Amino acid sequence: MEFELDETHRLLRDTAGAWAEREVDPLAAAIDRSDEFPMHLWPAMGELGLLGVTVPPEYGGAGFDTLAGVLIIEQIARFSGSVALSYGAHANLCVNNLHRNGTEEQRRHYLPPLCAGTHVGALAMTEPEAGSDAVGGMRMTAVRDGDDFVLNGTKMFITNGPIADTLVLYAKTTPEQRQHGITAFIIEKGMAGFTVSRKLDKWGHRGSPTGELVLEDVRVPAANVLGEVNKGVAVMMSGLDSERAFLAGESLGLAGRALELSISYARERQQFGQPIGNFQLIQGKLAGMYVQVESARWLVYRTAAAAAAAARDGRRFGKEAAAAIMYAAEVSTRVALDAMQIHGGYGYLNDSPIGRIVRDAKLLEIGAGTTEIRKTIIARELLGLR
């Protein structure tokens, strides 16, 4: 059993970390304040091979595994949760999904611009009335008409939705068959009848655009079916496992950064004539934060390695992925709040990155399936329930 990252993964982590510190850190506060997506970062990330991290080079990708993606999103999240979330939605929810389920023609057409960062990707599953019950509550329909499907419905909370060029979208092709009547489609921004009805104003992850999308009689060629007709639930569920394993890296980056900033502050901030790090109550808080971050780190990395193995042999890893993101997300919220306590009044100011980390951390307990749904997945698998 290996407990160390190999040289390739270490190099990737350090390259992504150095890039994010140089290019993302100086922009992070302004991205949060303005709620503007930093589009210019995308081609730069494409050039570094970050956007197609899990896609083979013949489609413009870098040809690495899920662990590599987790290390990259962790490093980006140390400096901006917003850029990290948009990166995750692009590189994993859209690009990785397209590669895993696409035909050769679909891969060759859609992946190169997504990997280069000239196109932005998104995944649209959630609807206004279908959140946790994404399958049962789904109202989006796709009706076959000649060589096309005609799609009607609304998608909600779609990361990158307002700016995406390419979206993986789920719709019901045979609604009466519930989970056996869902199909995944590849949607393009310019398709007639496709509109972004709202860009949502959020508490955190500002600058990572989240949208409500409306499809009104959108004609989608049958050639844009991703996977098989009525087999979309397999695409969706395996995609959710992969998404949870990947996005857990964001929580890790947020928590790790909150700890780093707290250590520096505990060394610098003087009260009662000495650094606050000399006080045992602060030391206890830092030690507790460290133990949580490191526990989360190994659960998340181990799950990413399992995801990489599953990508090779098609195994499910639902319980493991749900556990990794559940634990990492809860840790990052707790650690971010502890960091605010250590920073005192200065941590509560908008000049400080701590408030942004708190706001960003909380989302990971909600998006990609809530903590409650993650617990349900873990428990049902432990109990052998369907």
243 is catalytic: yes
Range 201-230, binding ligand FAD (CB under 6 A): 202, 205, 210
Task: Give exposure, 101-127, as e/b (b: 16+ Cβ within 10 Å).
Answer: bbeeebbebbbbbbbbbebbbbbbbbb
CB of 263 to ligand FAD, least distance (A): 29
Range 187-206, binding ligand FAD (CB under 6 A): 202, 205
Q: Which amino acid is present at 340?
A: M
Which two three-digit tokens encode residue 331?
């840790």
Q: Does 240 bind ligand FAD (CB under 6 A)?
A: no
Range 298-317, binding ligand FAD (CB under 6 A): none
Residue with tokens 């394993």: 245
Range 363-382, binding ligand FAD (CB under 6 A): 363, 366-370, 372-373, 376
CB of 88 to ligand FAD, least distance (A): 9
Q: Count the Cβ atoms, other than its own, within 10 Å of residue 309.
A: 12
Q: Does 171 bind ligand FAD (CB under 6 A)?
A: no
Q: Does 125 bind ligand FAD (CB under 6 A)?
A: yes
> Whole-angstrom Cα distance, residue 85 to residue 31?
13
Q: Which of the residues 127, 212, 243, 365 is marked catalytic?
A: 243
Nearest to 28 by CA among 245, 364, 253: 253
Using the contact rule CB under 6 A, the part of the chain among 57-65, 98-106, 153-161, 313-321 near ligand FAD is 153-161
The binding track of 34-73 with respect to ligand FAD, each residue x by CB under 6 A or -, is ----------------------------------------
Q: Count the Cβ atoms, other than its own, within 10 Å of residue 182.
A: 27
Task: Pick the binder of ligand FAD from 20, 83, 89, 111 (CB under 6 A).
Answer: 89
Question: Judged by CB under 6 A, how many residues of this single chain contact ligand FAD?
Answer: 22
Give whichever of 113 and 131 is closer to ligand FAD, judged by the CB atom: 131
Q: Does 238 bind ligand FAD (CB under 6 A)?
A: no
The binding site for ligand FAD (CB under 6 A) comprises: 89, 123-126, 131-132, 157-159, 202, 205, 210, 363, 366-370, 372-373, 376
Q: Which residues are marked as active site? A: 243
